[in-house]
Amino acid sequence: MARPIWYVNLLKKAFPNIKFIAKLTRIPFLGKIFDLAMFEGDDIIYLPQDKVIPVNKEVQKEADMVLPSQVIEYFIEKANYHWIMNFCICRDSMQCKDYPINLGCMFLGEAVLGINPQLGRRISKKEALEHLERCREAGLVHMVGRNKLDASWLGVKPGNKLLSICNCCPCCCLWRIAPVINPKIGQKIKKMPGVNVKVTEKCIGCGTCTRGICFVDAIKLVNKRAVISKECRGCGRCVDVCPQKAIELTIDDKLFIKKSIKRIESLVDVT
Ligand code: SF4
Ligand code: SF4
Ligand code: SF4
């Protein structure tokens, strides 16, 4: 059943404490319950920001699509139902000062018909593509995939008819819980296939990339040099902020777009 506005307002009030709630999932019994209730069957892919992609020549030559956001464009073209929120619930509840509150999640698939119309509106394919472009220009990072949590807070069914496209900043709920949540749940939020991020010799240890940039705390200073851990999800934000251009993001899988689409299509039907 579509969620009433009072329910959404209540949820917004709980958001600033979401890290505390996420930590509870490390208690085995509670972790299982949270997983079943909110993350069962999920697969969410972080897309590197298009602007940081120096796709290597081989990939560029052989792939018919080369920018990560083309995964989302594919689903927008394919979908019969498109929906955007009037606002970003995460930025709104955190009173975000850095990114626009009016650019929120996009949802695709038949389940959007069940969303409370006071929360957003159905849009055309053209409007969906324009929304995507505005989010990119604002510096937001896309996440795409099946997210049971979305179907649950929106009160819509079936979950396999709802594709979530998030346009996120550090206020994002998933972003904020990622470093503390039970790792088994955290692993459902993945890197795009073939994405590699590395710090090069140009690093001077200024620390810019370590200050509230990485949503999974995967980048730290060690012996005055940035070091990236295996927790990295390849979003590219650290690449973007480094003043020395010392961090490189590459994609070495020629099929990275096709593989991402296939994974999502196996879980969500947007037609
Ligand atoms: S998931 Fe991203 S776009 Fe959606 S409400 Fe949260 S920050 Fe905003
Ligand atoms: S911002 Fe760049 S130069 Fe500064 S620590 Fe990070 S990688 Fe090194
Ligand atoms: S280290 Fe963090 S900010 Fe950098 S690409 Fe990986 S996930 Fe993104």
Q: Measure the CA–CA gap between 13 and 18, rounded to whole angstroms.
A: 10
Over range 122-136, report the average pLDDT.
97
Determine the distance separating the centroid of ligand 2 and the alpha carbon of 6, expressed in angstroms.
44
Determine contact, residues 181/39, Cβ cutoff 8 Å: no
Residues 226-239: pLDDT tens digits?
999 999 999 999 99
pLDDT of residue 154: 95
CB atoms within 10 A of CB 6: 8
Residues 139-150: pLDDT tens digits?
999 999 999 999
Percent of the chain with pLDDT over 90: 75
Percent composition of the chain: helix, strand, coil (DSSP 3-state, to 5):
40, 15, 40
Residues 31-83: pLDDT tens digits?
999 899 889 999 999 999 998 887 555 555 555 557 899 999 999 999 999 99
At how many degrees (to 10) do helices 70-78 and 125-137 cross? 160
Q: Measure the CA–CA gap between 169 and 105, rounded to whole angstroms.
A: 12
Q: Which residues line ligand 1 (CB under 6 A)?
A: 88-91, 104-105, 166-168, 171-173
CATH architecture for segment(s) 195-251: 2-Layer Sandwich (3.30)
Contacts with 56 (C-beta within 8 Å, 6 or more apart), sequence order: 250, 251, 252
Pocket test for ligand 2, best of 200, 209, 229 (most atoms within 8 A of CB): 209
Residues 88-107: pLDDT tens digits?
999 999 999 999 999 999 99
Residues 157-185: pLDDT tens digits?
999 999 999 999 989 988 888 888 999 99
Question: In which region does residue 29 sit, left (phi positive, over 0), alpha (psi from -120 to 50) or beta (all else)?
Answer: alpha
Determine the distance separating the centroid of ligand 3 and the alpha carbon of 123, expressed in angstroms.
32
Determine the distance separating the centroid of ligand 2 and the alpha carbon of 200, expressed in angstroms.
9
Cβ of residue 72 lying under 6 Å from some atom of ligand 3: no
Question: In which region does residue 207 sit, left (phi positive, over 0), alpha (psi from -120 to 50) or beta (all else)?
Answer: left
Q: Report which ligand 1 atom has the smallest distance to the Cα of 174.
A: 1
Q: What is the pTM of this model?
A: 0.91
Determine contact, residues 197/232, Cβ cutoff 8 Å: yes
pLDDT of residue 179: 84
Complete DSSP assignment for 115-161: S-TTSEEE--HHHHHHHHHHHHHTTPEEEEEE-HHHHHHHT-S-GGG
pLDDT of residue 53: 83
Over range 18-42, report the average pLDDT.
90
The ranges of the chain annotated as CATH 3.30.70.20 are 195-251
Residues 196-246: pLDDT tens digits?
999 999 999 999 999 989 988 899 999 999 999 999 999 999 999 999 999
Contacts with 58 (C-beta within 8 Å, 6 or more apart), sequence order: 254
Q: How confident is the model at residue 17 (pLDDT cuts 50, 70, 90)?
A: confident
Pocket test for ligand 1, best of 163, 168, 171 (most atoms within 8 A of CB): 168
